[in-house]
Structure 1
């Protein structure tokens, strides 16, 4: 069996209080509208995975990425490469293994290519956004189909297992919602046949509209990236990789809310932020807030230059 390696990038930013991911616009003839920036790793041309990934993103989107970390390897049978030079197009390649990466950037508006776009996360995972209400209509629309899937189990033990998975990942009580389990929820919907990707072999079969599909297994890679990022917010100050040099505390809070899909308690969030020492005031007021002037802050990176720093607490509203 011959293998080929493909690199895929989940490039994230926050703009106008919305978490966005950088996507390639696929041709109108494609059944899916979007894919992640991807390309084959060629040992004779690329010295490292990291350098190859940066080159692919720049070539395909016109965008130069900054912070990068490796996510996971994806090698399910039947997955397909996306780029024009994708290794899956080679008939001698039996399987394509994709290495996923997470990249963070504070700059969302300077990619030059017309065939790339910043797309909101909630287009792909609408059940993950709880900022407006404690009742998510996108999730409520899925519940009848999830119940039907549970009841269709062939044995009582399998039915009990499915019910337990649904109750754990899609709890009725919002207080039990775990925002980090994005990938687990997507995998459950896939297994239940509630995503378009689960029916590629039979596109005529109808599915519940569970978010915007992506090419290949890119929505699974994207879910992995969002899960990693939501968890990492709590133990590393990665949020500042997404912030401009100067920001208000409300802008910082809204950016975190956009990423984790939750509303945060303003006073408790600010008290927790003050204990970390992450930010320092600049003594400059911003007037264009639409309300009272707000003081500008910056990330005090020097304070943590030689010492490990924790993440932020995310107290729910």
Structure 2
């Protein structure tokens, strides 16, 4: 039996691969993510922005002719859209759900985005621009910052919204399932808060129609107040949530925090950087003992910090030999609220 060859239309590319970068820095003890506002992220798939001035991640299409690898393509887009040159890149996840891009004109094409996490300690002058800048990632996820205790947004907006969503379940089983999800993700009912579940919490808020992206993507109109927090174009807030959870988890078994530090630093600045990322306070003495006993840092002989406002502190640097000495050097973190 013979079959006819497919027409040229039938073999036209149905998938467009996009490359998204979550470029993270810590500045002034605040975790920042590089934002490109009003960027042309339309690709060749006919994607249009519902809000041309919305916040987005550095992003661009993968060109199989010009880009030898996915990471090379991403580095080119980061170089073109930002003044940064991060050294650390890590692939996060591949995002390919249908309907990811509100406003996409060509529904025959699926936009698949490969997300990357990039870390840098560069302080770019572009942070003061209205179009490209470092924005605090807690502006997009205000419920993730527990450094000053439980965020009020949880009791004022999220917990009431989730209670309404749970009560709207059509069956007893559905209500119980929703209640369990809320407990696991947000620590309601006395359950523990897991700082790594950033994506799970965002997905729950999205599914409960409590964040702007859900209303936008589903074309809904609601008569209740949405959970505060800056929205992002397309599904870039979902990609940012993935990066936040990944980085929080990775701190515990890899020394990636030093990619965010200058070559020399005080232990206090190192602690403040870790606290900024994980979103809660750490016990100062325990942290110092942990770091000094881990073999990950060494004191810089004869040098002290020149920071004002107190006694000069000893300066330290990262010991890269620890990567050869231990298979998983990281920080076993424990919260100390109010410490």
Same-fold call, TM cutoff 0.5: yes
Matching residue within 38, 43, 60 for 2:64: 43
Match of 1:85 in 2: none
Q: Tell me, in whole angstroms, the C-alpha distance in 2 between the residues paired with 1:29 and 1:202.
A: 12
Taking the aligned partners of 2:127 and 2:261, their CA distance within structure 1 comes to 21
After superposition, the Cα gap between the structure-2 partners of 1:112 and 1:122, relative to the gap in structure 1 and judged at 3 Å, is closer
Q: Are 2:11 and 1:2 aligned?
A: no
TM-score normalized with structure 2 length:
0.85
Distance 2:91 2:315 in 1: 33
Work out the number of aligned pairs and report it.
Answer: 310
Kept in 1: contact 2:296–2:329 (CA 8 A): no
Contact 1:6–1:96 (CA<8 Å) still a contact in 2? yes
CA distance in 1 between counterparts of 2:282 and 2:194 reads 14
Query: In the alignment, which residue of structure 2 is the partner of 1:103?
Result: 118
Q: Distance in 1 between matches of 2:215 and 2:58?
A: 23
CA distance in 1 between partners of 2:60 and 2:108 (Å): 15
Which residue number in structure 1 is paired with residue 210 of structure 2? 194
After the TM superposition, which residues 249-288 of structure 1 pair with which residues of structure 2 at under 5 Å, given as runs? Answer: 249-283=267-301, 284-288=303-307
The 5 Å alignment of 1:98-177 reads: 98-111=113-126, 114=129, 115-133=131-149, 135-141=150-156, 142-172=158-188, 176-177=192-193
Q: In structure 2, do the counterparts of structure 1 residues 69 and 174 end up closer, same or farther at CA, with 3 Å as the change threshold?
A: farther
Aligned-pair distance for 1:307?
4.9
C-alpha offsets along residues 132-169 of structure 1, whole Å, 9 cap, x if unaligned? 12x21011121111101001100001101111111121
Structure 1 Cα separation of the partners of residues 102 and 325 of structure 2: 41
Pair 1:139–1:113, CA change in 2 (3 A): closer
* Structure 1 unaligned blocks of 5 or more: 83-87
Q: What is the DSSP-based 3-state SS (H/G/I as helix, E as strand, rest coil) of the residue aligned with 2:321?
A: helix
Q: 1:81 to 1:58 in 2, by over 3 A?
A: farther
Shift of the 220–196 alpha-carbon distance from structure 1 to 2, 3 Å rule, reads same
Residue of structure 1 in register with 2:238 after alignment: 220
CA 1:180/1:146 → structure 2, altered by over 3 Å: closer, same or farther? same
Give how far 1:26 is off. Answer: 2.0
Q: CA deviation at 1:306?
A: 6.3
CA deviation map 1:41-86 (0-9, x unaligned): 011111111111011011112322210010000011122399xxxx
Aligned to 1:23: 35
Larger radius of gyration: 2
Which residue of the partner structure matches residue 316 of structure 1?
335
Mark the CA change 1:93 to 1:11 in structure 2 (over 3 Å): closer, same or farther.
farther
Q: Distance in 2 between matches of 1:256 and 1:173?
A: 28
- Contact persistence 1:8–1:39 (CA under 8 A): yes
Choose the corresponding residue for 2:323, options 283, 297, 304: 304
Question: Structure 2 unaligned runs (5+)?
Answer: 1-12, 40-48
Task: State TM-score, norm by structure 1.
Answer: 0.91
CA RMSD after TM alignment: 2.3
